[in-house]
Structure 1
Amino acid sequence: MGAYDWTNWSVAGMGCGVPVTVRWLLRHTDLNLTQAADTGDPAREIDFVVTTELSDPTPWLSGGELVLTTGIGLLGRTGVIVDRAGCEAYVRRLVDKGISALGFGVGLTVDDVPADLATAAAAAGLPLLLVPRPTPFVAIARAVADRSAELQYRSQELAARAQPRMTRAAVSGGAVALLRELSAACDGAAILLDEDGRVTQSAPASVSPAIMRAVGEQVRGHPTASSVAIEHDTVIVSQPIRVAGRTHGHLAVAAAHDMKPTDHVLIGHANSLLALDFEKPHRLDAVESRVNVAVFALLLGDEPDGSQVQQLAAEAADGHGRVRVLVVRGLGARAEDAAEALTARLVARRRPAFVSVRDGGEVAVLLRGNDDDAVITDLMAALPRAARRRSRAGVGGPVPVTAVRDGHRDAVTIAAAAERGGAVADRRAVAGMSLVASPSGRASLADLSRLLIDPLVEYDAAHGSALVPSLRAYLENHGQWETAASDLGVHRHTLRARIAKVEDRLGLDLDSARVRAELLLALLVKD
């Protein structure tokens, strides 16, 4: 890409962002256009193509056009081309309107470009193109339109490529690296100023003092709004860097060419990146202040303000202010190492790390309320393999930040029911297992199991029978003889006989729903 010499104000080139020019049109071999000698700079830019045979088309022109004519508008009353004065007046009207070039179609009204017209164009510095008769004017208009669309697409493509480069530069190199990328993308000088309009950084580093002054004056004149100005043939675009009513400074780009829409998009993107960078210390200061308040309250022996503590944890919540608690139990001496591994994984995923080592070798982790199984599986993969094999893990459902204690209790209960070394369990795993998972419930059921199940276990051991598995199959199949017998691989009459033996040994009636429920729980605690 070309560059502008921002030290001495001289144009050194414009690179691949050049619009459609007279030179490009002359190089379009299918059109077979030629330029009359000494008739203006072929670097002129063409915005649009207009065909007209009016002697004065300027009321319908806006500047920047390539005007195409066959010379009918130059014919006098006698039907011949006007004299030199008439040609000069025609050219002067077009030049004063700011057209880019004049195309003259030969072989129709006249066989060649009138000499007086060529002389007038050369004197005015207006490029004069000779259009041969086989070349239709519409082909020229289509070529310019297609080229303009191609350049516009290319400009948008370059902008799309520039945005991720700017983002990477901002992350890895800060404001200076971002300004360099913006300067290259916009083909101009990128300048960062403080709140008072003083230049703090620029790319390139050596920007003309005159530009610095012009940019500073523009920023001070528009401290809270974006602005565009032209100073010394230089276009200056400035924007305040503002977040939540705070102005962190100003971003400006100065270029020797009109800013394209994509340039404005890139400037806005750079502004957003700078705003994020400037806001980071404010966010950290706010968090640190809340932490300090909570710590000081603890040092004074006070209970910390619950609302402040909840604000600290709010960063871990989802968009609805909900969190989930993950509990990993049975880690023993490996709890500290496990907590470090989980913290490192959260940080690597750019997540706030709320990880706590609890009594009894337990680790608790605060997750977002909308974190799904994939997120939790990825987090658990960070645990050392040995720790994972020995542990049980459970995760509670989404709760408000104000109900983290309840979420933790739920996760502890679920983890107790989880399979050791297995997948992380959720509330679905507790269904039918909550009494077994709870320490107090398990203790009560263990007493029940000794009373009701141990006698059957002893009988099976002494007689080689299968009363315990038969009872389990019967209960888990809700007393359905056919299904339970099929699970066991025996005839239903065999199963009936075994269940009758169970009732006889225990002195119980299995027709009672309460008896069946207690027997099933007593069996489950044996697992």
Structure 2
Amino acid sequence: MVSLRSIVDIEDLRVHVAHGSHLLDVELSGAHASEQQDPTPWLAGGELLMSDGLGIRPSTEQQIDYMARLKRKRIAALILGLGGSLPYGELPDGLIAGAREHDLPLLSVPVTTPFIAITQAVYARMASERAVLSDRILAAHAPLTAAAAGDAPLLEIVAAFGRQIDGWAMLYDPAGRMVVDAVGPSQGVRAAIHDYLARHAGKGLRTSLADSDPAGGYAIRPLGIDRLRGLLLYGRTAGRLGDQFTSSVAGYAASLLSIEMERRHAMALIERRPGADVVRRLLAGTDAARAPQVLAAVGLTAERIQVLCATSPSLTPDDLADAVADGVPEALMLTAASGVTAIVPADPQVVDRLHHTLADAHAGLGGPVRPHHCGASYRQARQAQAESRRRGTGLTEAVGLGNAHVLLQLVTSDGLTTFADAVLGTVEGAPNGPGLIRSLRAFLASGGTIEDGSNAAKVHRHTMRRHLRRVEELTGRNLDNARDRTELWLAFEARDVAATL
């Protein structure tokens, strides 16, 4: 940073400070000479403006207004040349008054100090500082490059980057789960990742963030080349975070991390191909003797397996597959545009890990089966996934849906549809069929109580009674009979299961 003070301190320039000695540490963006009565259209802000006074009008009011315009343009300071044949032999009262009123540094130099000397001094210091900064940035790149070639690149790059900026750094995956932790950031800063993902979901690599917390400044950079692969959170408890050195080193660290994360993703895709072929084969049907051999060929020797079906509202199928692989490395996965289908060993610990991994996904897990019954577990997983969507998010296990779901999944889709049509068809096809169906389902789900059923269906209890009498007329069932109520409820369940087969 080239400060105004560094120019004032050059004795050969003979700069006199008339006002603003407390403002000399301001950063200069350049130096510009102008004799325009209003030079602001030619200024960008931050310049050291030099004038011989030819364009500065003599009245006090005009000079105060001149200084006001310079202040609004946010120039760093005004230097006025004095003496000789120049318009002013000393600083005019209007400029001094304007400088004091608007707190703008006002300087002067004698006519013997050429403005070109001031300009050369400013830009020579800028060039020198750029050279020093470039050397410093290159020196910081070296340990980051070495870290990228280490045994644990992600961990080593993040740690080296934190040291280079005299701060801390953390790495997260696209779902906001920590990959590399750090000492230093407050809980408020750590929570910023989840706020960032909530605000910028779907924006991919386009949005970075810089903010501050009572514990210090921090920034978030998205990582990846074609799509979001992770997030770099970094900061420090003191000092500027947005300086050129920190920004440049952060950009280099983000590039190295993006390359490494893309490499890992590409390797994961290659490693998952044999597993995807196994999933296809088992879902297509394999005999009892051959199925365990197919699994063993890719390293899975479990006697019983479960099928997982999952999609995510925030992750692409490939990123979701990466997340499942991180949580359950032994999973065999098939990725498609519709989501992820995986085979996992039937193990309570695996299920616990899936619940954690898929907390923000729409996911269903079929029941434990022998490998040659993979198709049955898949159908259960589809039904459980549909239930997960109805509930919101998270992993839903088929074993928690009740025995009726499991039994119905053993029936073909055509069989389920035929049964449901036979029981509910006359109601669905009647005038106000949708209203009758809604009231009937709410009544059955509430355990056969008029009050709770009418509240769930959002109808008056008298309307509920009228609807139920009409259902009895259309179906020939008696809703006071437990067997008839069970048959009607199974028809609704059959409809739900058939939709997922």
State the structure with more CA Rg: 1
Q: TM-score, with normalisation over the residues of structure 2? A: 0.46
